């Protein structure tokens, strides 16, 4: 048995496949077609059924031979995704008619993808590019399977569209309503979030410097800042809408209040981070307060400041969108979400969420990149 290297995921996938084969009928129309052989009834997977079984069984069997791990991973990747694609494309037009074998095959394909990810994470590529590629591929496969399972369950079980639309419908909605989405993003992100984020972070930073100079202020502000960061600040949204009106200014106000305190607390903590030795060294150089601040203490505080910037990136989005629930001109992501929920256009809501998540991730990613460049000296990045 030197050529055989079993893995429980692949074995279980084979078992599920056999189970699906024994159960046989994969959908309700197929059962009808079998009952009335004379009538020509169209049913899903009429042509592709054997191909699905083949894809899963062959790739599972192949992955358990003693082949190089990269080859096994490639075979699993191809088999799992071919089977998933056939399963999903086959059910089009027959939503809600799938029977147990459909889910068994889906689960088998998912197990193969899991095995593929396990093999990939065991790989230790020496080349840098290959390493980055594998590091990206693993989470991408995971994310893709979240969507595949979502799509499969929603369409296989025929879950009503207004409860949970399949990802493909959301994607189609994004593609058809780009202008609306762009207008909402312009209103919410480019006007409210960016302005509020800049004001809140800037004010928090300056207050922290001030608190650093005046130690009485620091001792008073720090406990209050810590306490405030636990408060549901989002609740000031209706008040801000009342003060600053329906347009983006009120949302920017909410965002700046929400981002102020994390920035303040983190910067004050960060400014205390530089060691006594370094500060003494600066004193022997006869450097002024500002020289010490810019050349030693701010760089030492940079990881904390970036931490606050990252926390604030997500807070800012949430603040602006929730503030729009309390009143807004007829454009904006929060406005769109709350009105389209009322009109039961759930796919539009999900489209907005997808866009918001994408922007949030990009926002976070940009800050993380800047952090990499600025704090290249920090142990966690070296």
Partner 1 sequence: MDRTRDKVLPVLAILAGLVVVWYVGAMLLNAPFQRDLDRRAGETRGTVEFIGKTLSQPKPTLPAPHQVAANFFENTFLRKITSNQSLVFHAWITLSSTLLGFVFGTALGIAIAVGIVHFTSLDRSLMPWLIASQTIPILAIAPMVIVVFAAIGVTGIIPKSLISTYLSFFPVAVGMVKGLRSPELTHLDLMHTYNASPAQTLWKLRVPASMPFLFASMKVAVAASLVGAIVAELPTGAVAGIGAKLLSASYYSQTIDMWSALVAGSIVAGLLVTLVGWIGRLVDRSMGARPA
List strand residue ranges (DSSP E) for 198-305, in order: none
Q: Does residue 346 belong to the site contacting partner 1 (CB under 8 A)?
A: yes
Footprint of partner 1 on 354-373 (CB under 8 A): 356-357, 360-361, 363-364
Which residues make Cβ contacts (< 8 Å) with residue 181, sequence separation at least 6?
Answer: 174, 351, 352, 355
| 16 scored as a contact of partner 1 (CB under 8 A) | no
Q: Residue 314 CB, nearest distance to partner 1 (Å)?
A: 6
Angle among Cα 265, 266, 267 to the nearest 5 degrees reads 95
Among 68, 93, 232, 379, binds partner 1 (CB under 8 A): 232
* Residue with smaller CB distance to partner 1, 21 or 238: 238
Residue whose tokens read 């150089």 = 285
Out of 321, 328, 347, 371, which residue is the one contacting partner 1 (CB under 8 A)? 321
The dihedrals phi and psi of 98, each to the nearest 5 degrees, come to -70, 145
Q: Cβ 262 to partner 1, closest distance in Å?
A: 11
Pick from 314, 329, 370, 372: which binds partner 1 (CB under 8 A)?
314
Among 88-96, 97-105, 239-247, 285-293, which window interacts with partner 1 (CB under 8 A)?
239-247
Nearer to partner 1, 13 or 321 (CB): 321
**Nearest residue (CB) to partner 1, 25 versus 239:** 239
Closest CA to 105 of 120, 86, 78, 89: 86
The size of the interface with partner 1 (CB under 8 A), counted in residues, is 60
Give the nearer residue to partner 1 in terms of CB position, either 194 or 353.
353
* Residues 200-229 within binding reach of partner 1 (CB under 8 A): 216-221, 223-224, 227, 229
Q: Does 322 bind partner 1 (CB under 8 A)?
A: yes
Residue 76 interacts with partner 1 (CB under 8 A): yes or no:
no
Residue 15 as a binder of partner 1 (CB under 8 A): the answer is no
* Rounded least distance, CB 93 to partner 1, Å: 25
- Going by C-beta distance under 8 Å and a sequence separation of 6 or more, which residues neighbour residue 340? 346, 348, 349, 352
* Binding segment toward partner 1, per CB under 8 A, in 177-185, 267-275, 277-285, 333-341: 333-341
DSSP state of 64: T
The distance from CA 122 to its chain's CA centroid, rounded to whole angstroms, is 24
At 153, list the tokens. Answer: 């369950």
Minimum Å gap between C-beta 57 and partner 1 is: 23
Q: Which long-range contacts (CB under 8 A, 24 or more apart) does 230-233 make?
A: 233/257, 233/258, 233/261
Which string of DSSP letters, residue by residue, matches 107-159? HHHHHHHHHHHHHHHH----SHHHHHHHHHHHHHHHHHHHHHHHHHHHHHHT-
Q: Are 236 and 324 in contact (CB under 8 A)?
A: no
A 10 A CB-CB count for 12 gives 17
By CB under 8 A, what part of segment 99-118 binds partner 1?
A: 114, 117-118
Please name the residue that has the structure tokens 């400014």.
271
Give helix 215-228 / helix 248-271 axis angle, nearest 10°: 120
Task: Tell whether residue 231 is a contact of partner 1 (CB under 8 A).
Answer: yes
Site for partner 1 in 123-182 (CB under 8 A): 135, 138-139, 141-143, 146, 162-164
- Which residues contact partner 1 (rule: CB under 8 A)? 114, 117-118, 120-122, 135, 138-139, 141-143, 146, 162-164, 216-221, 223-224, 227, 229-232, 234-236, 238-239, 241-243, 313-314, 317-318, 321-322, 325-326, 333-334, 337-338, 341, 346, 349, 352-353, 356-357, 360-361, 363-364
């Amino acid at each position: 048995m030197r050529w055989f290297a079993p893995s429980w995921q692949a074995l279980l996938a084979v078992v599920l496949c056999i189970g699906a084969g024994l159960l046989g009928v994969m959908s309700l129309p197929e059962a009808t077609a079998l009952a009335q052989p004379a009538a020509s009834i169209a049913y899903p997977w009429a042509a592709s059924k054997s191909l699905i079984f083949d894809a899963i069984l062959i790739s599972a069997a192949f992955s358990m031979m003693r082949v190089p791990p990269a080859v096994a991973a490639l075979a699993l990747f191809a088999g799992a995704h071919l089977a998933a694609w056939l399963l999903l494309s086959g059910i089009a037009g027959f939503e809600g008619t799938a029977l147990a074998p459909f889910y068994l095959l889906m689960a088998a394909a998912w197990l193969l993808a899991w095995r593929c990810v396990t093999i990939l994470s065991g790989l230790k590529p020496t080349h840098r590019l290959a390493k980055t590629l594998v590091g990206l591929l693993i989470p991408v496969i995971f994310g893709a399977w979240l969507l595949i399972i979502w799509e499969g369950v929603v369409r296989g079980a025929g879950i009503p569209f207004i409860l949970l639309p399949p990802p493909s419908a959301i994607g189609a909605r994004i593609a058809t309503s780009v202008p609306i989405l762009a207008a909402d993003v312009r209103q919410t992100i480019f006007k409210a979030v960016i302005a509020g984020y800049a004001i809140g972070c800037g004010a928090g930073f300056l207050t922290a410097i001030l608190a650093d100079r005046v130690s009485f202020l620091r001792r008073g502000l720090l406990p209050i800042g810590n306490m405030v960061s636990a408060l549901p600040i989002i609740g000031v949204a209706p008040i801000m809408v009342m003060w600053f009106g329906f347009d983006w200014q009120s949302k920017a106000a909410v965002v700046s209040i929400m981002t102020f305190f994390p920035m303040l607390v983190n910067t004050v903590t960060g400014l205390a981070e530089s060691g006594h030795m370094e500060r003494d060294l600066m004193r022997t150089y006869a450097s002024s307060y500002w020289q010490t601040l810019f050349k030693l203490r701010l760089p030492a505080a940079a990881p904390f400041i970036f931490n606050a910037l990252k926390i604030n990136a997500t807070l800012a989005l949430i603040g602006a969108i929730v503030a729009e629930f309390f009143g807004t001109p007829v454009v904006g992501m929060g406005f769109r979400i709350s009105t389209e929920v009322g009109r039961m256009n759930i796919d539009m809501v999900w489209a907005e969420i997808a866009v918001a998540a994408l922007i949030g991730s990009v926002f976070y990613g940009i800050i993380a990149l800047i952090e990499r460049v600025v704090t290249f000296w920090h142990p966690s990045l070296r």
